[in-house]
Structures are given as structure tokens and as C-alpha cells.
Structure 1
Amino acid sequence: MARDNPITRRKALKVTGAAAATALVAGCSDDDNGNGDDGDDTYDIEAGTEIVLYAETAGWIGEEPADIDEVTNPTLVLEEGEDYTIGWNEGDGQTHNIEIRNDDGDVVDDLETEEVSEGGDDQFLDFTASEEMSTYVCDPHETSMIGDLQVE
């Protein structure tokens, strides 16, 4: 599966961010942010979905599903008892892995991958959502590459 060049995508984001900042200063923002989102940056993920992230030391960047595209460390809302897949194909060349942890910071049900510098099939976790799951994390970069899981 071909992916966009991450460097080109980041440059485009900088331009878009500058335009958004200009609009905000000009008073062109609205509290509802125009997309029906209530501003809490949570994303309901349909059961059976494969969640694809880009591994970047500064944070997980959402790629798929489309709702999380380009969102850093999106909060994923999952349905308890349903199956999901989460992982990364591409990254910034640094060493990464992905783990699912509970509130105590412990890995849940051995849901962790090996630390590697290139993503791929072995960097995806298949799991059934349970209420003890609270975060998805890259162990080497656990302070910046961490996203919340809300299991309902």
C-alpha cells in the first residue's frame, strides 16, 4: 500500500497551520469548529477496524481510518468485547514499538510488539477491547507517543 511522503505531508500541515492561525487572529473561528465534533478530539472506531498510525518520536500520527488522518495521538473510543487491530507501517526511522497498557502502566495481555526501526505486519496488534485498556504507547517514547483508549 503506497503512502504519501511524510515530509511533504508535514510541510503541507505547516502551511495549513499558518493559515488557521491567521484565520483565528482575524476572528474567523467558531466554537464548534465547523465539523460536528464537540472539540474533545475523541474518535469512535467501528468494530473490526484496522487502526493505522505513523510512528514519529513527537507522537503517533493517525493515518487510518480517515477520521484520525493527521491527528496526533488521537483518543480512540472502542466498544468493549469487539475486535480491533492497531499498529504502524511507516515511521521516522527511530526505534519504536506499540503496546496497549492499563491505568497502572502495565501491558495488557502481552499486547506489545518488539522495538524496531521499520514498521510492518509485525508491528500490528489484534485484540478484543476490554475496559482495563487505557492507552496505546511506544515504550521508547512513552512521554510523547501515547494516546488514550476509551472502552465503552
Structure 2
Amino acid sequence: MTVHDGNRRTFLKAAGAAAATALVAGCSDDGNGNGNGNGNGDGNGDGVTIAAGEDIRFDGQTGGWEGLEPSEIAGETNPTLILEDGEEYTIGWTEGDGTPHNIEIRDDGGDVVDDLSTDQVDDPGDDQILEFTASGEMASYVCAPHENTMVGDIQVE
């Protein structure tokens, strides 16, 4: 395995009986320091407390949910959201990369909570916003087609 730090790509070389194959794998980083390696992108692993009634908005990028609003999550990738139990919130995506996305709120088992899911679309609009009351069963916000990269934790306290 050869790592080229300048391109942030990992090259894995495998030799076969007749030929060698090179596979490019990994992911890129824009170098802004938003990631912390655990997928929540908040830089400290603690999460971001979101005030009751706050609108939570993302830019839907295949590589992850990029925070837009509130300002506490702006520029963060897949930030952990700390919500207050029993309080009202809205969450959704208003910008995107042209690839079909949706947003869902799931429980620990990966099931959608209370039908909190939007349709998959490539151009977000008002229909990509979910209104909900925070509850302890909520564990994550996810884009179903990109659930390995577009996923962030929800903590309800």
C-alpha cells in the first residue's frame, strides 16, 4: 500500500497472475479542519447544542451533510446535533450537488422514526424540510442513497 499525502489518496496495488491492478480508494478533504475522524465533523466529538425551535439546514453533498444553519453548524460536515427532548425543530436540505438525496431521521436500529423522511430529489425545495418534536428514540439524520457518507448523529437530552 502506498499513501500519497499530497493528494490525500490511497493507492492499493494488487498483483494478479497476468497483470497488476491499481485501485484508488479513500476520500478527499478540503483541509478546513471540520472533520474529526468520527463522522460527526464537529471537531471535538461533543456535538452542537441546537436551541429549541431552531431551523437546521444543510447543503446535500454526496460526501456528507454540510451545515448551513444555524451558525453553530455552518461549514461543519455531519455535525452531531444535540436536541432538547419534547421541543420542536425543523431539519432539511436547501442546497445540493445535483445528485438525488433525501433526509430521514432514524432510530438506533436504522428505522425511520415517525415517518420522518422526504422523497429523493436532485433539486431541494420546501418539500425537503421535516418538522418534528425531538424524542429519545432519534439517533441519526441520514440520506438514504448515501447512508455511509451522509449521516450525522442526533443526541436528545
TM-score, L = length of structure 2: 0.73
Q: 2:82 aligns with which of 77, 98, 120?
A: 77
Larger radius of gyration: 2
1:108-132 Cα shifts (integer Å, max 9, x gaps): 0000000000111000000000000
Question: Unaligned 5+ residue runs, structure 2?
Answer: 1-28, 34-41
Q: How many residue pairs were aligned?
A: 121
Q: What is the identity, as a one-letter code, of the residue corresponding to 2:100?
A: T
What SS class does the counterpart of residue 140 from structure 1 fall into? helix
Question: Unaligned 5+ residue runs, structure 1?
Answer: 1-12, 21-36
Question: How does 1:1-150 map onto structure 2 within 5 Å?
Answer: 14=30, 17=32, 39-150=44-155
Percent of matched pairs sharing the same residue: 58
Quote the Cα distance in structure 2 between the aligned partners of 1:73 and 1:104. 19
Distance change in 2, residues 1:117/1:38 (3 Å)? closer
Query: Could you say which structure has the higher helix fraction?
Result: 1
1:85-136 Cα shifts (integer Å, max 9, x gaps): 0001110000000000000000000000000001110000000000000000
Query: Could you say which structure has the higher strand fraction?
Result: 2
What SS class does the counterpart of residue 127 from structure 2 fall into? helix
Quote the Cα distance in structure 1 between the aligned partners of 2:79 and 2:94. 17
